[in-house]
Structure 1
């Protein structure tokens, strides 16, 4: 497009400047009139840095000005006009210099802001910083000047220089706004290049908040978050402890501690428990704790927390769906169905539409699974028909395919999975694994193995494929192949507890190399100490080694945490061998009610010639 003539461009620029100056004049107070302290302001928030400084760093400035009408001289007008013209012609640096002169003459915050914008157009962070500091010097009480200075310093990665401005910002911010400001600070400084320095800087800047009992809990939480981002979980735990000591009712330290729960951090969980014992404990913290327990495979403890939460706050939807999921895993089908239906009833009250959709999809899938277990295939399909979420298309259709396969329509089930669209690599892999699972459930082990062999040959370092291939090789009685695959998986993923557990259990189950089996399973226990299935393997190898009392102790504890039919089969056999046959039969009957078709349970009963 042909550029407009210079005269028109000059006129346009002059019009823009006149509009700016007219707006400036409207903000000038009448002579001898005091400023209105109640006048609304729009302070610029601290924004997250995005690399080198850009004009986006600057937010809208305060509309206040200390200029007087006499400042609106022809010389000022000329400086502003030429500054804008110079910047528009491509020389933002000189334009910024002219604009800064006008800003200093008028002390108008908008002209200081415009100076910063012009400097940032040329990615000149130092010039922008000089303009922001000139603004702050002219108006020491301007929060916008201080905040923009902070933004630029963070963007320039000059974190050490932000201590005093950040401290002043907290001092000037009303106490009620401190939680929001600390959230912004944590998010902003977490993106700094030197994360350890960022944590140290924020700690120094929050020295006054740390000393104040009303804000100490939140201040230490902010510091702890930054320490955690910096790869210092011990430092984060120390911050959580100090925060709770300063304010036992603050939820911040407890929320931070939830993220720190780990066998290597034994002092984190007590922080959460102490907070939950206070009268004003927030349900969100208990929900987070329950999730952490579930992720640690401490299912019984997680269910207990969720049950408590559903009693205290029966109107909250989220606890019901997680509780229903855990109950379904534990084969408590009637309780699971009640919980999931309660979630469906409450879900429409959720404000977040995406969260509601995800939760409903999970609930419908689980309800379909429960119906399938009792062979109510029509009911299972009806639950699936309620799902309206394209993001879970693969999961929904895989469940539909499972229903077909359970009714003897394996080929139709495979065709259904194959017809699914592949929007990305994850969809493709999920489709593949869903088809393999159909074959495994139908005991079509050779076709499943052939599919996995082809896939793992194409992706030899895919740990999921290696593990599944090893498990199918075991079903085909190819024990050498299974062992080779699992050792390859351990080589690729030394922290894969499932590989150690599977190999150790296989050796123990076949009564070969039992000491090696125990060593492998003990390694799995170290990696996942709260996994009841790994504990089951350890109990089983102790039984094979003849350590009946230890085996019984381990298996009883595992079964208490997770009353799974396979764990029940092993516990019952140990009890049977120890002469506690009534207790053994009771355990087997309980497991049979949950899943009468479980292979391990049926094989155990047949081998011991037990009829329930």
Structure 2
């Protein structure tokens, strides 16, 4: 008897009779079967009615009573008794719906083992049932018993026609995506998948699944080998490229596969778009922008490429290029909307497709904000204000108001700018946080370090567990020269949020920049890199600490990687100094010149040039 069974006194016959009428219709279908129609109709029928066959249920009295008792037990909370009674009925009738009912009863009671027992009984009773095999596999995955999946999976593959077996295998990674022991899953399924990879119909699917399971198990080398093999076997297939994109963060060699494919098929805009997105996720904005730029040249109708390119150019502080890409995106978005509206049924389609309309409107709002930022970078404050006025989305209110306040502050009207932000609501912790972050950033931009620190200190008293607010407070403490206070605050951030990579990086960089506790600094920055391995600013910090430790070659390598991914002026300052100290003066000057071109007022770069007595 299952553990969740709870016995109670048996219902009396009178109660069963009273409830029978209401339950008969629903329960009879669980064990119905066609039978002979009445020989003598009660009244004349039309031809259509005569053609219809009346079916009487083969549900006999004992079975009806059993089903009724099971449902009544369930309705009164006796889940275990209902499970046993209905499972016995399912075995007797071999009815699929009744087996499903029993499995669901156990699942709703959170009795996984009992659900699995019911599914196995279902398989035994109906060995050719696809649903029974699928349910058993799903439950075994849920219960973290991958070794037992092999038998029902093999049966499920055999029951499906050859052309559908690949699809059966393709669902396995998703089924086990939350498995607590992914290595155990790989070990259990690898022999079956290896065999499946020998068959023509399942060759590709089996190798793809093996690669994904290997990646989940932390064996990226094995996943890469499978991907390379798949690419060799099917040099024009998409599966190897999709795997390579997934492997990029773990295996640099995977990126070479994508680059080789794009070199062989430069018109493959679908792959190029996916590659660009992967590069952006890997914090390589320059490389990502290159790919999206290529897409816009080859296929200018790709709206998403224009938007992504504008975003990346702005991140790279290429104001003119960002402005062009975003304007082109908006122009093409409006053309597409106008074209759709002219098509038959276009207006009705636009009305019914609310999700797409909402997405387009949100994209417009975001584009206006970015165009305002690009105008601000160019020094066109009037143009920036014109774009910001267009933003009317409630979700973008904080950002738009901050941008407007920033423009006002740059015109010397700081009090007016702060008042604009202080008028924003703070009725929820998120609203308060957004409001404080916006005002503190405004003060920071205007070099009002002390006022920003005090504002953040008051906010962290109200929201003491907000790691981001405490982090911003630590940055203002640094600006004020309160380095001990900064260190205390950063350690508090790490205590609140142990995966806050910015805090590890900031603390490590601060130590490296002061040339103290360098081994500790390296450890902190390495911890930050463990969370975001390719983040350019953290690579920059690691390069700087290696320079402080006297490892010039390693410092150059890391700083070159950082600068290639993000040619930021501060990274240029560090790379240039390392090159200068390595007797590579001409290259150092080129790097500094590029940094100044991107941000001619960058303090770190200007201070470096002044300290080294180098004229820009």
Give the TM-score band, short-chain normalised: 0.7 to 0.9
CA contact (8 A) 2:73 2:82 kept: yes
Deviation at 1:12, TM superposition (A): 0.9
In the TM superposition, 1:37-186 aligns within 5 A as 73=60, 75-85=62-72, 87-88=74-75, 91=78, 93-97=80-84, 99-100=86-87, 102-117=89-104, 125=112, 128-174=115-161, 181-182=168-169, 184-186=171-173
Distance in 2, matches of 1:155 and 1:552, equals 49
| CA shift in 2, pair 1:98/1:470, >3 Å | closer
Deviation readout 1:211-241 (Å, 9 max, x if unpaired): 2355444333334434444455455445544
| CA shift in 2, pair 1:386/1:250, >3 Å | farther
Q: Does 1:25 align with 2:33?
A: yes
In the TM superposition, 1:437-586 aligns within 5 A as 437-454=441-458, 464=468, 468-478=472-482, 496-505=504-513, 507=514, 513=515, 520=521, 524=525, 527=529, 562-566=566-570
Q: Identify the residue that residue 49 of structure 1 maps to in structure 2.
A: none
Q: Does 1:379 align with 2:383?
A: yes
Distance in 2, matches of 1:481 and 1:283, equals 51
Distance in 2, matches of 1:334 and 1:194, equals 50
CA contact (8 A) 1:490 1:500 kept: no
| CA shift in 2, pair 1:387/1:237, >3 Å | farther
Q: Identify the residue that residue 247 of structure 2 maps to in structure 1.
A: 260
Deviation at 1:274, TM superposition (A): 4.5
Q: Identify the residue that residue 296 of structure 2 maps to in structure 1.
A: 310
Deviation readout 1:167-221 (Å, 9 max, x if unpaired): 3223434566556544543222223444433333343443443223554443333
| CA shift in 2, pair 1:428/1:287, >3 Å | farther
| CA shift in 2, pair 1:288/1:9, >3 Å | same
Larger mean CA deviation between 341-350 and 601-610 belongs to 601-610
Corresponding residue to 2:410 among 406, 412, 424: 406
CA contact (8 A) 1:522 1:538 kept: no
Q: Does 1:320 align with 2:324?
A: no
Corresponding residue to 1:337 among 318, 323, 327: 323
Provide structure 1 residue ranges, at least 5 long, that are not aligned to the other structure. 31-67, 508-512
CA contact (8 A) 1:163 1:202 kept: yes
Larger mean CA deviation between 538-547 and 268-277 belongs to 538-547
Distance in 2, matches of 1:504 and 1:561, equals 22
Deviation readout 1:259-296 (Å, 9 max, x if unpaired): 4334x644443344345456499655543433343344
Deviation at 1:368, TM superposition (A): 1.2
Deviation at 1:370, TM superposition (A): 0.7
3-state DSSP of counterpart to 2:425: coil
Q: Identify the residue that residue 398 of structure 2 maps to in structure 1.
A: 394
TM-score scaled by length of structure 2: 0.72
3-state DSSP of counterpart to 1:499: helix
CA contact (8 A) 1:294 1:302 kept: yes
TM-score scaled by length of structure 1: 0.72
CA contact (8 A) 1:217 1:246 kept: no
Q: Identify the residue that residue 13 of structure 1 maps to in structure 2.
A: 23
| CA shift in 2, pair 1:407/1:181, >3 Å | farther
| CA shift in 2, pair 1:403/1:238, >3 Å | same
Distance in 1, matches of 2:299 and 2:611, equals 49
Deviation at 1:148, TM superposition (A): 2.6
Q: Does 1:220 align with 2:207?
A: yes
CA contact (8 A) 2:313 2:321 kept: yes
3-state DSSP of counterpart to 2:447: coil
Deviation readout 1:96-142 (Å, 9 max, x if unpaired): 55545554554443344344445556555555544444443343222
In the TM superposition, 1:152-301 aligns within 5 A as 152-174=139-161, 181-182=168-169, 184-212=171-199, 215-234=202-221, 236-241=223-228, 243-244=230-231, 247-262=234-249, 265-277=251-263, 279=265, 283=269, 285-301=271-287
Distance in 2, matches of 1:581 and 1:129, equals 71
| CA shift in 2, pair 1:179/1:285, >3 Å | farther
Distance in 1, matches of 2:88 and 2:276, equals 60
Deviation at 1:345, TM superposition (A): 3.9
Deviation at 1:372, TM superposition (A): 1.7
Q: Identify the residue that residue 37 of structure 1 maps to in structure 2.
A: none
Distance in 2, matches of 1:529 and 1:481, equals 28
